[in-house]
Amino acid sequence: MRFEIELTQGIDALSIPGTIVELAPKHIDDFINLWSEELRKYKTQDKLWDWLFKLNFIRRNFEFEGYALEAEGCTQGLMKIETQLHTSRQVYGQKLVYVEFLASAPWNRSFIQSPPKFRGVGTNLLRYARVRSVELGYGGRVGLHSLPGSVRFYENQLMSNFGTDEDEDNDNLIYFEYGRLGR
């Protein structure tokens, strides 16, 4: 599986090609060897995410999928989705793709590096989640709970904000959702 995308270079706004591929050990190595020290240094919300555990979990559970966004030979972003269990809050009973984890490499985060190396990593991964939703017959519906530092990003993606989730399993995170495409 390969899904071609375009990223924007932060320094000169030129477009460069990228690819979304299935999560593989190479991406985990990039996370451990290239990302993790910077994430800890800047105390990001995702600094302790264990992507090796996530990859092994995905391999054992058919309803989960993992993807990496690659550009210039390096992992620029990572995403884990769930495809069978979650339903829409906009339309009762309608299935959706649920984004469990989405992360961009530290050099693509403007609060770590300004300008960021690439813009559009998270946006392209979210778009791919919508593509998977369409492929699965869910009409483009995608949902997720946002970490506090990412709320503005999801609002800028024009996702519907359903407010704080009171469910104790979701730590009072804000729930966002894309509705059916074309509506």
In a domain, residue 157? The reply is yes
Lowest-confidence pick of 24-28, 147-151, 156-160, 163-167:
163-167
Q: What is the pLDDT of residue 183?
A: 59
Do 181 and 111 touch, CB atoms closer than 8 A? no
- Average pLDDT value for the chain: 94
Taking the C-alpha atoms of residue 120 and residue 102, their distance in angstroms, rounded to an integer, is: 13
Pairing of strands 142-146, 97-104: parallel
Assign residue 42 a region (left: φ > 0; alpha: ψ between -120 and 50; beta: otherwise).
Answer: alpha
**CA 150 to the chain's CA centroid:** 11
The most distant pair of C-alpha atoms in the chain lies apart, rounded to whole Å, by 45
Instruction: Give percent of the chain above pLDDT 90.
Output: 86
Q: Assess if residue 42 is contained within a domain.
A: yes
Q: Which residue has the higher pLDDT, 181 or 70?
A: 70
Cα 138 to the center of its chain, rounded Å: 18
pLDDT in tens, 92-124: 999 999 999 999 999 999 999 999 999 999 999
For 47, the domain range is 2-178
Give 46's pLDDT tier (boundaries 50, 70, 90).
confident
* Residues with Cβ within 8 Å of residue 74, at least 6 apart in sequence: 30, 34, 105
**For residue 170, what pLDDT is reported?**
65
Entry pTM: 0.94
183, part of any domain: no
Structural domain includes residue 58: yes
In a domain, 166, yes or no: yes
Considering the domain boundaries, does residue 142 fall inside one? yes
CA distance 181 to 120: 20
Q: Distance between CA 47 and CA 59 in Å, rounded?
A: 23
CATH number for the domain that contains residue 146: 3.40.630.30
Tokens of 3: 């899904």
Is 18 domain-assigned?
A: yes
* Number of domain units in the chain: 1
Task: Name the residue among 30, 69, 82, 37 with its Cα closest to residue 51.
Answer: 30
Residue 17 is assigned to a structural domain of this protein: yes
Query: What confidence score (pLDDT) does residue 79 get?
Result: 98
Residues 6+ apart with CB under 8 A from 10: 108, 110, 113, 115, 116, 117, 118, 119
> Model confidence at 69, in pLDDT bands (50, 70, 90)?
very high
Q: Can you give the C-alpha Rg of the chain in angstroms?
A: 16
Local confidence band at 168 (pLDDT 50, 70, 90 cut-offs): low
What is the band of 165 on the pLDDT scale with cuts at 50, 70, 90?
Answer: confident
